Amino acid sequence: MRTIEWKDDGVYIIDQTKLPHELNFIVCKDYERIALAIEKMEIRGAPAIGVAAAMGIALAAKNSKGKSIEEIKKELIKAKRRLASTRPTAKNLFWALERMEKVWENANSSEEIIENVIKEALKIAQEDIDSCRKISEYGSSLIDDGDKILTYCNAGGLACVELGTALGIIKTAFRKGKKIEVYVPETRPLLQGARLTAFELKMEGIPYKLITDNMIGYIMQKGLVNKVIVGADRITRYGDVFNKIGTYLIAISAYIHKIPFYVAAPFSTIDANALPEDVIIEERNEKEVLYINNMLIAPSGTKVLNPAFDLTPGKYVSAIITDKGIIWPPYDFSTIK
């Protein structure tokens, strides 16, 4: 099952807002629908939104009414701007859009633009599948029989095209016969852990326990977990990691308890020349915090802070598992080709 797929009549995406109760597909016929799907988090997860943005550009090219190469390029620039405005933190989104721009910039005719832009979007999707397989293979070597692993948010097949990064490692270790158990924090406010990670683990038959986010310190202190593996939205030059809000607390707790804290991500997530201060942390709608299942959980008029991501300094990261292998500290991505 693929999270996102290009078909003749549109881009099919799994509607993640309906999981785990309903498995529905949304058919996006134009780039605006893709942009909305990213904003509404019908599709989410750094690699998946990168692929979605690339396919959005491909739809823009396919649907273009431009009569000349210049007119088509103008439309694609507009589509790129709209797609880039959806979510600011994940590097993959911008990485994919920049790759698409290079392709249309180098095309010599209208036909070539359309053909090459669609080809490139499909290539980005296939590369994501391949990267997840490599990450999962490398990462599974770090998993031992009997491990109790904590993951966070959803870095699974639903956050990518298929398989996943952090969860891909867990699935691959399990498929190799390693006896493992996974702890899944629910991941407030949008519950990606409870809704999506638990869904994927259940489908795979991997033993797991759901916990609330405030139980993480407790399970570490009690020795109930011995490894942490999470994904990333952006990793800057010296291995500082931006990931779902709450990741930082997990990392420092793991550090204090001497539990390895691994981050899994493809190179498309790495912003090799950026420093943490260059990264914009997305602020989301206050309703995500104020409401659970459409029920207001605080007095009306309550003010809210809702950052979607936080920064885990590289010094708390035991290793970064990438599609090019496992990278150990000290991290300096500006030297890696």
Whole-number minimum distance, CB 42 to ligand MRU, in Å? 11
45 lines the binding site for ligand MRU (CB under 6 A): yes
Part in contact with ligand MRU (CB under 6 A); list of ranges 22-30, 99-107, 231-239, 313-321: 231-239
Task: Count the residues of the shown chain that bind ligand MRU, applying the rule CB under 6 A.
Answer: 17
Grouping H, G, I as helix, E, B as strand and the rest as coil, residue 11 is strand
Question: Could you give the string, one character per residue 46-75, with x where binding to ligand MRU holds by CB under 6 A and - elsewhere?
Answer: xx----------------------------
**Cβ-contact 43, 37 below 8 angstroms:** yes
14 lines the binding site for ligand MRU (CB under 6 A): no
327 lines the binding site for ligand MRU (CB under 6 A): no
Q: Out of 173, 194, 232, 274, which residue is the one contacting ligand MRU (CB under 6 A)?
A: 232
150 lines the binding site for ligand MRU (CB under 6 A): no
Cα–Cα nearest to 162, from 40, 14, 41, 269: 14
194 lines the binding site for ligand MRU (CB under 6 A): no
Cα-Cα-Cα-Cα dihedral of 258, 323, 157, 97, to 10°? 120
Measured between alpha carbons, how far is 179 from 205 in angstroms, rounded to an integer? 12
**Residue with the shortest CB distance to ligand MRU:** 231
80 lines the binding site for ligand MRU (CB under 6 A): no
Cα–Cα nearest to 169, from 101, 92, 262: 262
Sign of CA dihedral 91, 94, 97, 103: negative
Grouping H, G, I as helix, E, B as strand and the rest as coil, residue 103 is helix
Q: Out of 26, 160, 194, 216, which residue is the one contacting ligand MRU (CB under 6 A)?
A: 160
155 lines the binding site for ligand MRU (CB under 6 A): yes
Helix (H) / strand (E) element for 27: namely strand 25-28
Q: Out of 3, 116, 131, 192, which residue is the one contacting ligand MRU (CB under 6 A)?
A: 192
Residue numbers annotated as active site: 233
Residues 243-262 that bind ligand MRU (CB under 6 A): 243-244
Grouping H, G, I as helix, E, B as strand and the rest as coil, residue 26 is strand
Q: Is the peptide bond before 20 cis (omega within 30 degrees of 0)?
A: yes
Six-digit token string for 232:
């990333």
Name the site residues for ligand MRU (rule: CB under 6 A).
Answer: 44-47, 90, 153, 155, 159-160, 165, 192, 231-233, 243-244, 308
